[in-house]
Each structure stands twice: as structure tokens, then as C-alpha cells.
Amino acid sequence: MSDPNGLIQPGRPAPGFTLPATPDGDPIGPEQFRGRPVVLAFYPADWSPVCGDQMSLYQSAAPVFAQYKAVVLGLSVDSIWSHRAFAESRGIEFPLLADFEPKGEVARRYGAYNAQGEADRALVVLDPAGKVTWSHRSPPDVNPGADGIFDALDQLAADRKVMAG
């Protein structure tokens, strides 16, 4: 199930993947974080103003993500070297994954790749079991913020309470 623009929709199992985040580290993917919610933040390019603001917002919201025990993973088609310089310049500590080679393969699997050869500005929230619970695509020049993510994480927390209680 995907929307008319192809973005993966809630209810689907998240496609598995691992991608490099650093030149010398092990690849990272959502499967490593089973048992915790995972936020996949696809974005077009490291050095664009909107992307910089969006990723910086998620870094500043790290304490809130931690309250949900959620992991944030940024993904673009930029290289690990670009990600490293971008993260250092912006103070970003969460992993920025390089969907670089084959270019955009993971973004394509999530329906978040565009004709310009970039990842779309798309957000996907996975539940602790790895199922998509929320997805959203923004126009390239619009920072989607974090409210939709927090709403999805609130819903996940509420669902877990109902199941546990």
C-alpha cells in the first residue's frame, strides 16, 4: 500500500536495509533498533538551507525523542564524507545514512526518491516491531518540523499502554 506518489504507507512492514553512516563504522539500519520506535527522515541534500534547518531541529529535539526511546536516522543520497562535514558543521549527533551507492536504493524502496536524483523530504515512523505506523511527504522547500512525528510517537505510546494494560 502506497499513496499515489508512492510513499510507503502505514501498516506495511518496513523494508530492511543497512547503510554506512561513517567511513570506518559498521552499516546501520532500522533492524538494529527493534524494540524501539525508529524515525526515518529522508531529505534531499546535506547543504541545502531547509535540510540543514530540519536536521538541526531533530538534533535539538533529541531529549524529546529520548523520552519516547525513539531512534532518528537521517537519509540522503549524499556521501558519508558529505554527511560527516555536514553533521560536524550543524552539531548533528544522530546517524546520517548515505543512500549513495547504488544511488537512492533505500529511498526508492520507501517510495521517497524523485526524478531529480534525490531523496524526497519524507518522514516514516516505524513501530518497535518494524512496521510503518506513519508517513508524510513534504514539498522540497518546506521543513516538515517534528509535530507529526511526535503525534505518531504519542499514538504508539498510547497503543502500547492499551496493549499492556
Write out the catalytic residue numbers: 51
Treating both helix axes as pointing N-terminal to C-terminal, what angle do 49-60 and 80-90 enclose, rounded to 10 degrees? 60
Q: Count Cβ atoms below 10 Å from residue 152 Cβ, excluding itself.
A: 25
Largest Cα–Cα distance in the chain? 48
Residue 85, all three cell numbers: 562535514
For residue 161, how many C-alpha atoms fall within 13 Å in the half-sphere facing its CB? 7
What secondary structure letter does DSSP report for 148? H
DSSP β-bridge partners for residue 13: 131
